[in-house]
Amino acid sequence: MNWHPHITVATIVENHGRFLMVEESKGGRAVLNQPAGHLDPNETLIEAAIRETLEETGWDVEPTSVIGIYLYTAPSNGVTYQRVCFAAKPLKHNPDYQLDDGILGAKWLTRAELLEQREHWRSELIIRCIDDYLAGHRHSLALIRPSL
């Protein structure tokens, strides 16, 4: 059996109690997720978080800390994802930025608004990462070591 976990990043961007979320088309339906995606070759995890946030939301961000590292096996396909979740501060919105294919748009939502839309979550990782962020889980970016 060939088992290949997928390395992904996600970014929690909070501004005045609202979280930057991505609405995307997945499996023919609109779902909500943090700005997130796969690590590309020759890219650091921090670079991936910055890139994915820009590509999916049009926002430039500055990562400030690591919230956590999560393992998730998607019930829909059995694929295991390792997610490194970062906290980041918003720097600048680029409203004319061409968002990735499949991205319907970006939204700023409170935790309560997210809970009201649970049936639209891409996965349970959404609320887990936000709750860890709200609980103050912040680890130094130095935790992420560059490749040798």
Q: Which domains does the chain have, with CATH numbers?
A: 6-143 (3.90.79.10)
What percentage of the chain's residues is helix, strand, coil (to nearest 5)?
Answer: 25, 45, 30
Q: Look at residue 145 and tell me whether its pLDDT is greater than 90.
A: no
Per-residue pLDDT at 2: 74
Distances (CA, A) of 108 to 26, 67, 112: 20, 19, 12
Q: What value does the mean pLDDT of the chain take?
A: 94
Q: Look at residue 76 and tell me whether its pLDDT is greater than 90.
A: no
pLDDT grade for 1, boundaries at 50, 70 and 90? low
pLDDT grade for 95, boundaries at 50, 70 and 90? very high
pTM: 0.93
Distance (Å, rounded) from C-alpha 59 to C-alpha 44?
A: 19
Strands (E), 34-123: 36-38, 59-73, 80-93, 103-109
Per-residue pLDDT at 28: 87
Per-residue pLDDT at 4: 77
Distance (Å, rounded) from C-alpha 111 to C-alpha 101?
A: 26
